[in-house]
Amino acid sequence: MDPGSVIYLMERILIIGSAGQLGSELSLALTEIYGSDNVIASDINPGNLKKFDFCRTQVLDVMDKEKVRKLIQEENVKQIYHLAAVLSATGEKNPLFAWHLNMESLLFILELAKEFNMDKVYWPSSIAVFGPNTPKVNTPQYCVKEPNTVYGISKQAGERWCEYYFQKFGVDVRSLRYPGLIGYKSLPGGGTTDYAVDIYHKAIAGEHFVSFLKEDSYLPMMYMPDAIKATLDLMHAPKEKVKIRSSYNLAAISFSPKEIFESIKKHYPNFTIGYEPDFRQAIADSWPDSIDDSRSREDWGWKHDYDLGKMTADILTNLPEYMVNF
């Protein structure tokens, strides 16, 4: 969507879990549209908020229900981007905590959206909703989903709750099933797809890279500028065009550790890789190789810009300078 052709309501927006991979970049993109007074970037860790010098900030634990409610009331928050979650690999280490945080927080935010008659809510889902019995290639929007990670189970249940709150209470909640997201503005955050973030750091540092996935383990992936564009396009689409209220399949590229390594080697000919699959291989094996996102393309005009080569060139140009921030 061309931002110049849209009139945005200058509403107050709260981003929960701003300092994560998605929030770090989405906060800036939202500030550019809605202005620094209207965007509140929040995170549980005060130290993480230093980088948000372009908008307002708030230390916030999403599980502190009284504090969240008070903030929404006092600030007249009209849109929430609820990004706080425990990711797949970290979730397997503490399943009950992952379930508790991922589910309780979503239900609480949906309730608040209903109570305060909020304009919109955004909540990310993931390819982790799929499981070993799902068709692996060009995975359709509607198919068998039997996720076997606690993260995937929480995302699948969350999708059902989103659709339920839309249908029963008219809460305008929108969601995307992200593939693995790759960006250079934050460090890997405990996901199975995060090897594809780490690999660029190792290449630039001149270090050998050890992949925790096998060389031919394909996963659906997306460069962060595409993910930001998709998120904003979905959130700014007219309500009637958002026909799926669980979560939309979303895709851009698919590659294996060997293929991303080869794309980097074109720029860093001395770069080396080894493969030592660990428990995360089973997680990757349960997820699709590639995704059919035709409903996103049809309903609200999704189109990706970056292929593997273009993404690698962009990251290797920008990451060395950005690394001083870590």
Helix (H, G, I), strand (E, B) or coil at 303: coil
φ and ψ at 194, to 5 degrees? -70, -10
Q: Give dist(CA 149, CA 152) in Å, integer.
A: 5
Q: Does 251 interact with ligand SER (rule: CB under 6 A)? A: no
Nearer to ligand SER by C-beta: 27 or 193? Answer: 193
3-state SS, one letter per residue, for 217-272: CCEEEEEHHHHHHHHHHHHHCCHHHCCCCCCEECCCEEECHHHHHHHHHCCCCCCC
Q: Does 128 interact with ligand SER (rule: CB under 6 A)? A: yes
Q: Which stretch binds ligand SER (CB under 6 A): 132-140, 191-199, 208-216, 240-248?
A: 191-199
User: Taking each helix axis from N to C terminus, what angle separates 150-169 and 95-115, rounded to the nearest 10 degrees?
Assistant: 10
Q: CA-CA-CA-CA torsion for 144, 92, 160, 110, nearest 10 degrees?
A: -160
- Listed in order, strand segments (DSSP E) in 49-179 are 56-59, 77-82, 120-122, 125-126, 173-174, 176-178
Q: How far is the CB of 193 from ligand SER (least distance, A)?
A: 4
Q: Does 191 interact with ligand SER (rule: CB under 6 A)? A: yes
Q: Figure out which of the listed residues 102, 186, 193, 246 binds ligand SER, where binding follows CB under 6 A.
A: 193
Nearer to ligand SER by C-beta: 31 or 193? Answer: 193
Q: Does 130 interact with ligand SER (rule: CB under 6 A)? A: no
Q: Figure out which of the listed residues 134, 192, 247, 263 binds ligand SER, where binding follows CB under 6 A.
A: 192
Nearer to ligand SER by C-beta: 118 or 158? Answer: 158
Q: Figure out which of the listed residues 26, 40, 87, 253 binds ligand SER, where binding follows CB under 6 A.
A: 87
Q: Does 231 interact with ligand SER (rule: CB under 6 A)? A: no
Closest Cα partner for 260 from 205, 315, 303? 315
Q: How far is the CB of 202 from ligand SER (least distance, A)?
A: 18
Question: Catalytic residue positions?
Answer: 151
Nearer to ligand SER by C-beta: 81 or 271? Answer: 81
Interacting residue ranges for ligand SER, rule: CB under 6 A? 87-88, 126-128, 151, 178, 180, 191-193
